[in-house]
Chains A and B, each alone.
Chain A
Amino acid sequence: MAKGMFVDTSICTGCKACQVACKEWNALEPEPSHFKGDPFKGGIAINFTGDSYDNTGSLSATDWRRVRFIEQFSDSREGGRWLFMSDSCKHCNDAGCLNACPVSAIVRRADTGNVFVQQEVCIGCKYCIPACPFGVISFNEKTKTVHKCTLCDDRIHNGLGTACAKACPTGSILFGDTGDLRKKADARLAQLKTLGQAKANIYGYNEAGGLNVFYLLLDKPSVYGQPENPVVPQRRLLLSTGFTAVGAVITGLAALFAFRERGARANAEVKQ
């Protein structure tokens, strides 16, 4: 039974408990200090994102969770809302990173469906990084391998939920069987629609073969920095190789044409 997470962004408060829990459980390195030098002695701020309360800027090898903050104001700035989304690896059923890995270091657990990197196999070629349509997987300069969320592979195989879901104080992040989670998501979506959230939608039922970590969003996916139509790059393999093969044939024909024998006498020679 595939395990996953349902992230209901409508009840997220942006507290970042999930970010902290993730860092602690997975022993990820802390962020560098916000100040270079002592801030009381003229130290300067160096790594504030300048983007609302976002403190990671992107998912990375040491930030497997990132709470996004989206400030939406009307032009007159009279009306406004603040959207939050706790973003992470979506554990795609058709995962670009897994497809791209040349050494099969990235694998899917057959029982729980989560995608993770076998650290002792990864060669650090970085090809999985551009292959992820969501910009999740990243290179760690210290270990010289790639890292990303494992869906707490160690916890979920020992009867525990993921660390982020455990820490979430509002129940915005739910861990469980994806089938059950989908029922909850559908019910919550229907509820929100009746409450007038016309733009509410669920992100992740069909994207990239279905996402095991899916979201209830209050606005378009692109507002939350998610691709509207994520394409698993490897689905273009046949077209791309086919076209390249045609290109090879054309180049070959150009060679045959350029190096052809001129005149009938020469043609006779070729036929020999």
Chain B
Amino acid sequence: MSPESQAPGWEWYYIAMYFFVGGTAAGAYFIGSLLEFVGAEKHREISKVAYYVAFPLALLCPIFLIGDLGQPTRFFNLFTTVNWLSPVSFGSWALLIFGGMSFLSFVDNLIADGKLKFAPFSNLYNRIPRKLYAIVGSVAGFFIAGYTGVLLNLTARPFWAATDPLLGTLFIASGASSGAAAIALVMAIRKMASGEAFEQLENFDRLVMFLELLLIVGIVLVAGQFAAPLVSGAYALMFWGGAVLLGVLVPLGLNWYGSRSGMSASTLVLITAILVLLGGALLRISIVQAGNT
């Protein structure tokens, strides 16, 4: 821990937003691939929506990342070397693999839904067992969701260093919850948000939100005095009001209490999903910026 360290000065609309968008894509993707691995027929819709959500979001990631570089045209230097000590280095490679995996799943679903006709792809794709895709896909998803937290932990900035080693797990839980919310949002818009499988998705979201809450308490406790910029400084409102209250507590409350209120189920799903996504974004922005200024 070193108060003398300098802040990187990343733009929040690039790096913090990448953490959010990448985390959501990864969360959605590992839900999709885990369900492909262990799920039943009724989960097919969820995993399909997950794949449809993950790839477009994954496609945004390099735009954020390259946008923040001082020398954007040199981004390919990342792929001329591997540095196992640097999360930025192995994260770039992981993002490449994740992008490839989510692209394959995306195209596979387009073909399965008859929206795209390209027989050679299916022939090649189906030659490899689906379970293998599912395993590699889930691992890549967890990796993308989690390495951004490790990336922040492995610095000398007082707040980021003090929260070591919890940020990776927090970002995985938050990515899982916003990934589930993104899937729920798309399903609600397409009027598919009902049935036993969907309830299970909401259950999962609830579980990971509890985990997230636990980890938020954890980082505030382990960071101690170094949590000041987050819990009482410039980002306190964003963190407590946005990430914790609107992003976790209100959705949990809506989940628990909402079914008894008069609100229609689909509106409830819609509101909850939007709040969780907003909370996920504010969580990343407040945590990244608390060490970045």
Contacts and interface: CB of A to CB of B under 8 A. Distances in A.
A221 to B, nearest CB: 10
Interface residues of B, number: 68
A136 B34 CA distance: 44
A100 B154 contact: yes
Interface string B137-166: 010001101110111011111001100111
B4 A133 contact: yes
A4 interface: no
B101 interface: no
Nearest to A240: B165
Interface stretch (A13-21, A108-116, A258-266): A258-266
B89 A227 contact: no
B225 interface: no
B6 A58 contact: yes
Interface in B1-60: 1-10, 30-31, 34-35, 38-40, 43
**Secondary structure class of chain B's binding surface, majority of residues:** helix
B204 interface: yes
Contacts of B145: 248
Nearest to A225: B4
Contacts of A145: 70-71
A248 B146 contact: yes
A130 B6 contact: yes
B12 to A, nearest CB: 13
A102 B208 contact: no
Interface residues of A, number: 62
A131 B154 contact: yes
A5 interface: no
19 contacts: A96-B156, A99-B83, A99-B86, A103-B89, A123-B74, A127-B88, A129-B8, A139-B70, A226-B4, A231-B156, A240-B150, A243-B168, A243-B169, A245-B146, A247-B169, A247-B172, A252-B30, A254-B176, A255-B176
B81 A103 contact: yes
Given A124-B70, A247-B172, A259-B200, A270 B4 contact: no
B86 A123 contact: no
A118 to B, nearest CB: 10
A237 B9 contact: no
Given A227-B2, A244-B146, A102 B211 contact: no
B85 interface: yes
B123 interface: no
A29 interface: no
B208 to A, nearest CB: 6
A63 to B, nearest CB: 12
B161 A233 contact: yes
Given A122-B74, A270-B38, 5 more contacts: A124-B70, A125-B68, A240-B164, A244-B149, A244-B165
Nearest to A229: B1
Given A122-B71, A130-B157, A258 B204 contact: yes
Contacts of A58: 6
Contacts of B75: 123
Given A123-B70, A126-B10, A240 B154 contact: yes
- Residue of A104, A143, A242, A266 with highest tally of chain B CB at under 10 A: A104
B266 interface: no
Contacts of A122: 70-71, 74
